[in-house]
Amino acid sequence: MIRIAIAGCRRGHAFIPILKDAGFTLVGAMDPNPDRLSTFAQSAGLSPTACFDNYEALLSLRPDAVLLASPMPNHTPQAIAALDRGIHVLSEVPAVVSFGQCVRLRDAVRSSKASYMMAENAIYTREAMMIGAMSKAGLFGDLYYAEGEYLHDVRSSVVDDAGQFTWRKRWQMDRRGATYATHAIAPPLVWMNDRVVELSAVGTGSHVDDRFNGDDTCVMTCKTGGGRTFVVRTDLRSPRPARTAYYQLQGTTGCYEAAQSPQGHARVAMNECREWTRLSKFEREYLPKCWRDHRRAIRQSKHGGADFFTLLAFAEVCHGAPSPVDVYTALDWTLPGLISEVSIQRGGQPVQVPSPRTAELDDAAALDAGNTLIT
Ligand SMILES: NC(=O)c1ccc[n+]([C@@H]2O[C@H](COP(=O)([O-])OP(=O)(O)OC[C@H]3O[C@@H](n4cnc5c(N)ncnc54)[C@H](O)[C@@H]3O)[C@@H](O)[C@H]2O)c1
């Protein structure tokens, strides 16, 4: 069993029931909010001596791995502190909140003995894994177009029990652009085996809630390294039912559309593409076997099993497997959101997305200059 510690006990709480099945023993938890910490400790059966209000104390337990479920701006500094001590990191999304953090995180991963994985659970849903298998089998032909959406009114999480704004106001609501985009971006990029190299973004501005300055909706039109077109929409506050896993994929011989609503059905069209077939008809052949092997853990997992498969993949990383969402992939999926902000500031001009594998990333650090939100 891998000894794991969790920082951030709200989102972190979701992982408690699935840790054991994925191969982890919980050794400690940390949250500055004492109520959150004690609720977590009770659910997890964790002794008070393993619970902390500060991160350094959590790391002093010398766990094998940490799961970072803390607010967005804490992910990078907490990941670096763990990596510097040789502790494996599973970081919630997004990986970073600034270009400077991209460089610091990449450098920390490069010089650490430990491994890094971003916890992008959208690639581990039942549907995402099926579409991945079908794309790989060539059922849609050569892929040339995709759409991704994440529409989720999170305004109820912007104010805490004491009536104070949480981190979400500053980092998700007041910034322009796509401030929480990895769930919309990652699955199509996995299916197309591609990365975004350039995008232009437009934002609606703020219409629905005068407490916030950023965009209600942001749309990014992206070009990928493989020459594909990819349209991404994010929205964290428009009044509407949530739609957090909507995607489209088009290839030369087939296409896929996710369900429009919980009552709807995902569908695919192939060959002549004249009529739709429910995606569920292809489960027998294309649903990966792991979905049959782990039924109990899937039932206990949030996000329809996706959290469990994220954790299971991380267990393999801790045992020496290559990270499926290593720091380069994590930045490939996080950087478009940061670049959308730059494009909007430039009136929607196309802006190159730096490659995290090259010195382009170091040059991009200058883009933080003048952004008053970045500290
Ligand atoms: N992948 C997913 O499906 C998913 C779902 C929800 C949240 N998230 C991510 O998880 C993270 C947490 O989101 P949330 O919804 O729990 O937010 P939240 O605001 O509801 O809770 C944040 C928690 O972190 C604690 N905290 C504050 N500062 C901290 C620090 N320095 N170290 C550790 N904990 C700290 C707070 O006291 C609070 O308990 C965010 O980065 C969010 O983007 C991901």
Compute and round to an integer the Cα radius of gyration of the chain. Answer: 20
7 lines ligand 1 (CB under 6 A): yes
Nearest by Cα to 146 from 236, 245, 226, 256: 256
Helix 306-318 / helix 126-136 crossing angle, nearest 10 deg? 70
Distance 12 CA to ligand 1 centre (A): 8
Q: Cα(342)–Cα(175) distance, rounded to whole angstroms?
A: 11
Q: Cα(24)–Cα(308) distance, rounded to whole angstroms?
A: 12
Helix-, strand-, coil-residue percentages of the chain, each rounded to 5: 40, 20, 35
Q: Cα(9)–Cα(220) distance, rounded to whole angstroms?
A: 32
Q: Cα(331)–Cα(136) distance, rounded to whole angstroms?
A: 23
> Which among 11, 166, 175 is the best mutation to test ligand 1's pocket, defined by most ligand atoms within 8 Å of the CB?
11
The answer to whether the CB of 92 falls within 8 A of the CB of 273 is no
Task: Tell me the backbone φ, ψ of residue 3, rounded to 5 degrees.
Answer: -80, 115
200 lines ligand 1 (CB under 6 A): no
The CB density around residue 166, as the number of other CB atoms within 10 Å, is 16
Domains plus CATH for the chain?
123-288+335-352 (3.30.360.10)
Q: Which three-class secondary structure string do you get for 157-203?
A: HCECCCCCECHHHHHHHCCCCCCCCHHHHHHHHHHHCCCEEEEEEEE
Q: Cα(282)–Cα(262) distance, rounded to whole angstroms?
A: 19
Which DSSP state fits 320? T
Q: Cα(114)–Cα(116) distance, rounded to whole angstroms?
A: 7
Q: Which residues of the chain have pLDDT under 50?
A: 375
> Which among 40, 52, 92 is the best mutation to test ligand 1's pocket, defined by most ligand atoms within 8 Å of the CB?
92
